[in-house]
A = this chain, B = another copy of it.
Amino acid sequence: MLGARGGWRALRRCPSSIVSSSSFSSSFSSFSSSSSLPREQRAPAARLRVRQALGAREAAGEVQVQGWVRSIRSQKEVLFLHINDGSSLESLQVVADPSMESRDLTFGSAVEVRGKLVKSPHKMQNMELKAESIRVVGPCDTLSFPLKAKERHPLEYVRQFPHLRCRSNALGALLRIRSEATAAIHSFFQDHGYVHIHTPIITSNDCEGAGELFQIETSNETQKSAEKNHFFNVPAFLTVSGQLHLEVMAGAFTHVFTFGPTFRAENSQSRRHLAEFYMVEAELSFTESLQDIMQVMEDLFKTATSTVFSRCPRDVELFHKYVAPAQKGRLEQMLKNKFVTISYNEAVEILKQASQTFAFKPEWGCDLQTEHEKYLVQHCGEVPVFVINYPYDLKPFYMRDNEDGPQRTVAAVDLLVPGIGELCGGSLREERLPFLQSRLQRLGLADTYQWYLDLRKFGSVPHGGFGMGFERYLQYILGVDNIKDVIPFPRFPHSCLL
């Protein structure tokens, strides 16, 4: 009824600036319509991703592979190319006639290769592509291209090029792993009956009670300094945690999780902090035991890690071979053993008895510093360590009073891991209305959190939850020193590139 008429015409136009190294000209698309362009001269080739080509069981006739040239080696009788399309760390070897070489066929150029997929005579690879035609789709200005052939660029170097570093082996592997880890974490929770919740990014709450918030205004408002014309009528901030919103949902779905961006406006330049980072958070109703929460943390960590290791072994190997050589054995050991648990009381005792001198003297009632966390993890044998039952006064209002003395400790837990420090934090939440009410009243927050008190008035249940820093998780399992190298576009003080 509604024909395609003139509309289709534009759909199949060949980009005029594309330089082709052969006389062969085709469309990438399998779509065929009444086009005004000349029809293809040859039968359409099966389009294969590099990963598919490399994993093929048998030779195949006319196939087409597209990607970027990672290496080029011209010999008298044969031209070797390696083509990568990001579907795997490994590139596909292309064997071509030297006549197919052209000025534009360089490292970094985008190409489309047609030919026959055959068993490779070399041990290093399973299959290779015998080229019948090579078309340079997009040339590369190699002189100004910051990545160079055959060089292993350090992570610090490629960090300068946030728009290009994903084309390096290390960042390519890392982002594939990140994608798999994301999927593994979602699957873990879905398999265990959790409902996924998109907790809000913009919020009028301040979950941690800290001053390190980003505030939001419309572009116009920031010009005025007046506070009366907020877009939302109230001051609004970027979320520091989805926990309070997850608690709302745990009162309906029992088990819920969220996995999204969170924000801190901390002015710290550190290899473990970002202004924008991802957090996995879960909340469980009908749980009176901190041990239940810790079990989920441990299961999540181990399941996700095993899944990632088995789904992208070559990508993970790159890090365990070149970035953090000892990491693999340590992680395998860790996956087999139960995480260690110590109480905060014990932690302080261990620190007090340490022969080491600390910059911050360990004292009951004081927060554990990075140096303390490091020592505790060492003391326990360089394994993940849960520290539980922290002093009441160190922790936010929503944590559950252990009643082991007048407001002495709360049912909180931090998971410390080697090389990183705090990876997860969690607690039982104060579900008892009178306890929560009096604590909020003392803090002058009872009005602000009336809705949160409501959750305790209407069918309150003992519950708890935790958050895991996703970037720190990736840093730990891969042994990556700097958090800026495990996120696609890092945001930190003085830097918001792209």
A-B contact pairs, 20 of them (CB 8 A): A2-B340, A2-B341, A7-B343, A12-B289, A13-B403, A14-B288, A15-B431, A49-B254, A110-B459, A163-B451, A164-B251, A178-B198, A197-B488, A200-B276, A202-B275, A205-B498, A219-B265, A245-B489, A245-B498, A451-B498
A199 within 8 A of B: yes
Task: Determine if A459 and B276 form an interchain contact, defined as CB atoms under 8 angstroms apart.
Answer: no
A345 nearest CB across to chain B (Å): 6
Measured between beta carbons, the chain B residues less than 8 angstroms from A498 are 200, 203-205, 244-245, 248, 451
Q: Secondary structure of the A side of the interface?
A: mixed
| Oligomer copy total | 2
Given contacts A346-B5, A433-B17, are A491 and B254 in contact (CB under 8 A)? Answer: no
A370 at the interface (CB under 8 A from B): no
B residues near A456, Cβ cutoff 8 Å: 138
Known contacts A140-B459, A190-B183, A288-B27: A432-B199 contact under CB 8 Å: no
In the complex, chain A residues 445-467 whose Cβ is within 8 Å of any chain B Cβ: 451-452, 454-462
Q: Does A360 contact B (CB under 8 A)?
A: no
A286-B200 in contact (CB<8A): no
Chain B residues within 8 Å of A1, by CB? 340
The chain B residue sitting closest to A489, CB to CB, is B200
- Please tell me if the beta carbons of A198 and B487 are within 8 angstroms of each other in the complex: yes
- Is there contact, CB below 8 Å, between B459 and A109? yes
With A183-B186, A292-B29: A218-B213 Cβ-Cβ less than 8 Å: yes
In the complex, the answer to whether A29 meets B289 with C-beta atoms within 8 Å is: yes
A195-220 interface code vs B (CB 8 A; 1 in, 0 out): 11111111111000001111111110
Tell whether A102 is near chain B: CB-to-CB under 8 Å: no
Q: Which of A54-62, A74-82, A116-124, A225-233 lies on the face that meets chain B?
A: A225-233
Map CB proximity to B onto A264-292 as digits: 1 under 8 Å, 0 otherwise: 01010000000110100000011111111
